């Protein structure tokens, strides 16, 4: 994460509060405690920690909250009531993910339900697929036990053989690039392009001799070009 020198805001996590309003489902607070609506429905980042049944002081007295820590363009903490549909949907979705998937960027999305209900859905930002969960029998679920299971899975990621978030991000980027390269291999093979044809196109289009020298954006552009050529060939 790039560090900006000079004057700026205090480097502290930004709390995001879940609440169903007329035109948004979550908000943040300004320095003078004013609610700032967040109209975007989704936040994408790397989940770094979860705190369950955290007792906090609210305007209505003490309340138990679930705090989900996410590293995106800055650190965020999504706070929701421990007994809310959002928190329970969050736990169900996180439980459905593997340890490896929890190390990758995920998208947390909100959607309004009936009355004051806000639902949580987790998406894979690359495939655009949501994590499928079932609410069948949710009244019989031991939410405390499920929360402990999810907490151990997520918080255990901090002790993985990755020394920092930067190392984690680099590992994720490498995996994504490898997937992009594999896709170009498939399309190039289907188009019957020779290695020489590929190098000539890359040199002419991007000024680079190898796919491994392309940025992620350039790789995606190259993939789109190859897919377009395939559509012309059918």
Return the percentage of the chain with pLDDT > 70, whole number: 91
Q: Answer yes or no: is 2 within a domain.
A: no
Number of domains in the chain: 2
Residue 115, in any domain of the structure? yes
Could you tell me if residue 22 is inside a domain? yes
* Domain around 42: 14-159
Q: Is 110 domain-assigned?
A: yes
Residue 4 lies in a domain: no
Q: How confident is the model at residue 165 (pLDDT cuts 50, 70, 90)?
A: low
Q: Inform me whether the pLDDT recorded for 162 exceeds 80.
A: no
Which of 19-28, 174-183, 194-203 shows the lowest mean pLDDT across its residues? Answer: 174-183
Quote the CA–CA distance of 86 and 93 in Å, as a whole number.
10
**What number is the average pLDDT over the span 180-193?**
89
Q: Are 98 and 126 members of one domain? A: yes
Q: Are residues 56 and 124 in the same domain?
A: yes
Q: What is the mean pLDDT of residues 75-80?
A: 96
CA angle 221, 223, 228 (to 5 degrees): 95
Q: What is the pLDDT of residue 161?
A: 40
Supply the mean pLDDT for the chain: 86
Taking the model in full, what pTM does it have?
0.65
Question: Do residues 155 and 196 share a domain?
Answer: no
**Quick one: pLDDT band at residue 57, thresholds 50, 70, 90?**
confident
Q: Which residues of 57-77 are buried (b: 16+ CB within 10 A; e: fewer)?
A: eeeeeeeebbbbbbbeeebbb
pLDDT (mean) for 40-69: 91
Q: How confident is the model at residue 229 (pLDDT cuts 50, 70, 90)?
A: confident
Find the distance separating the first CA and the last CA of the chain, reported in whole Å: 44
Shared-domain flag, residues 98 and 179: no
Of 183, 178, 171, 175, nearest to 221 (Cα)? 183
Does position 157 have pLDDT exceeding 70, yes or no? no
pLDDT confidence bin for 1, thresholds 50/70/90: low
Q: Does the residue 44 lie in any domain?
A: yes
The phi and psi torsions of 147 (rounded to 5 degrees) equal -60, -40
Confidence of residue 140 (pLDDT cuts 50, 70, 90): confident
**In the predicted structure, residue 232 carries a pLDDT above the cut 50:** yes
User: Which range among 39-43, 55-59, 180-184 has the greatest average pLDDT?
Assistant: 39-43
pLDDT given for residue 73 in this prediction:
87
pLDDT band per the 50, 70, 90 thresholds, residue 221: confident
Instruction: Please tell me which residue, 231 or 39, carries the higher pLDDT value.
Output: 39
Q: Which of 99, 128, 159 is the last residue of a domain?
A: 159
CA distances from 191 to 16, 26, 219, 229 (A): 48, 47, 17, 8
């Amino acid at each position: 994460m790039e560090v900006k020198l000079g004057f700026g805001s205090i480097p502290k996590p930004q709390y995001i509060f879940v609440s169903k309003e007329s035109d948004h489902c979550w908000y943040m607070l300004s320095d003078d405690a004013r609610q700032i609506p967040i109209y975007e429905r989704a936040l994408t980042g790397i989940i770094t920690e979860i705190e369950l049944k955290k007792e906090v002081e609210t305007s209505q007295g003490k309340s138990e909250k679930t705090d989900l820590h996410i590293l995106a363009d800055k650190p965020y903490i999504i706070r929701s009531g421990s007994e809310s549909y959002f928190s329970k949907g969050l736990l169900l979705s996180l439980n459905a993910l593997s340890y490896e998937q929890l190390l990758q960027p995920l998208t947390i999305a909100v959607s309004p339900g009936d009355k004051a209900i806000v639902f949580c859905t987790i998406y894979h930002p690359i495939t655009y697929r949501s994590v499928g969960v079932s609410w069948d029998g949710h009244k019989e679920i031991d939410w405390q036990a499920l929360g402990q299971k999810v907490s151990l899975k997520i918080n255990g990621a901090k002790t993985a053989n990755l020394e920092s978030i930067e190392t984690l991000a680099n590992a994720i980027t490498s995996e994504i690039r490898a997937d992009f390269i594999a896709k170009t291999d498939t399309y190039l093979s289907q188009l019957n392009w020779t290695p020489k044809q590929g190098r000539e196109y890359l040199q002419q289009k991007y000024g680079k001799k190898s796919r491994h020298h392309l940025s992620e954006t350039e790789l995606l552009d190259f993939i789109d070009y190859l897919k377009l050529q395939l559509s012309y060939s059918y």
